[in-house]
A = this chain, B = another copy of it.
Amino acid sequence: MSLSPRRRVAVVGATGVAGQQFLVSLDRHPWFQLTALAASARSAGKPYRAAITNERGHLQWGCEEPLPAAFAEKVVVDASRLDLGEVDLVFSAVESGAARALEERMAPHVPVISTSSAFRYEEDVPILVPGVNPDHASLVKRQQRERRWRGFVAPIPNCTATGLVTALAPLERQFGLRSVIMTSMQALSGAGRSPGVAGLDILDNVIPYIPKEEEKVELETRKILGTREGDRIVPLGLPVSATCTRVNVRDGHTEAVFASLDRKASLDEVAQALRAFGREFTDLGLPSSPPELVHVTDDPYRPQPRIDRRINDGMTTVVGRLREDPALEHGVKFVLLSHNTKMGAAKGAILVAEHLVHQGLA
């Protein structure tokens, strides 16, 4: 790994739910020094703590971890006026509406690692998942060449796709995948807070629909598992069918997965493939990397979001209930848990950035 000097990084959209997660995960980061907190003009000019405190004196901080003292008094800057000469890398946690314009302004100058979907479906933009598709990363050079950018945009996927591709990638590589069916039971934090899901609506309830979610999961899964061919990614020709629901859970998306493999594999082989996955990546020992990308449990009552989302600080996909599937050819089924605001959002984006630095791309 290049012994690169410490990077100066900005978080854009720093006051929102996703932005706050970035602050937690960048606190005392060994490589990235958070030098700029950017948000809308309304917050600009205020110390961060003041910017997220409402008129009644309530601190609108949504993370389990406390607000890092190092950033509490840092003055927020206007995202549209962020001095890009002063930062080496930007983490964009901007809501989809505003993301396109902001990222388009920044990417010509600096690498932008984004949680938004604004650029995900462009041909010269990879969707990066730590350890899953490292060979897609260098596609950012095409952006630099063709768009004449010095920086680039590298989005991470929708948080529901993250765990899914992490569990599917080893199956695809080792056995081949024919089709995938998935039902998600997604956490509230995936919907943010304003408006998010009303307490009134989710109490004693399941909401069986999340707008655009299923399309994103299906499209992104195929792209992430796709093959790099020269300067483009050929999506995997994999039929993916998702039903995405919301349940009354704070953090951690649970997914019931049913997969048809290309060839017969025993449950032991499948478990072995899952357990072995990503060793070459985790062996890099990147600062935000978990010791294992996938953890397989034999406890039939696991994974459970409240218990298992904490494993390796939410950076490991936990797989359980591995069984043969009687309804699909060479079918296997399992339940996975992925932490939607850790690996599925801010900390996952930071790990992507670490890997890009490691690869010499950022």
Contact = CB atoms under 8 A, between A and B. Distances in A.
Nearest to A202: B199
A159 interface: no
What's the number of copies of this chain in the assembled complex?
Answer: 4
B56 A301 contact: yes
Interface of A: 56-59, 62, 64, 179-181, 183, 185, 188-189, 191, 193-209, 211, 218, 239-241, 243, 245, 247-250, 254, 256, 258, 298-307, 310, 320-321, 325-328, 331, 333, 335
Given A243-B333, A326-B240, A205 B301 contact: no
Contact of A248 (B193, B209, B248): B248
15 contacts: A57-B300, A58-B302, A181-B327, A191-B200, A197-B199, A199-B199, A203-B250, A206-B254, A207-B304, A208-B254, A241-B326, A241-B327, A241-B333, A245-B256, A245-B335
A188 B306 CA distance: 15
Given A195-B195, A241-B328, A326-B218, A258 B205 contact: no
A203 B211 CA distance: 22
Given A243-B321, A328-B241, A250 B208 contact: no
Contact of A181 (B258, B300, B307): B258
A208 B326 contact: no
Contacts of A208: 254, 256, 301-304, 320-321, 335
> Sorted from nearest, which 5 A-B pairs have the closest CB atoms?
A183-B183, A241-B327, A239-B327, A179-B327, A183-B256
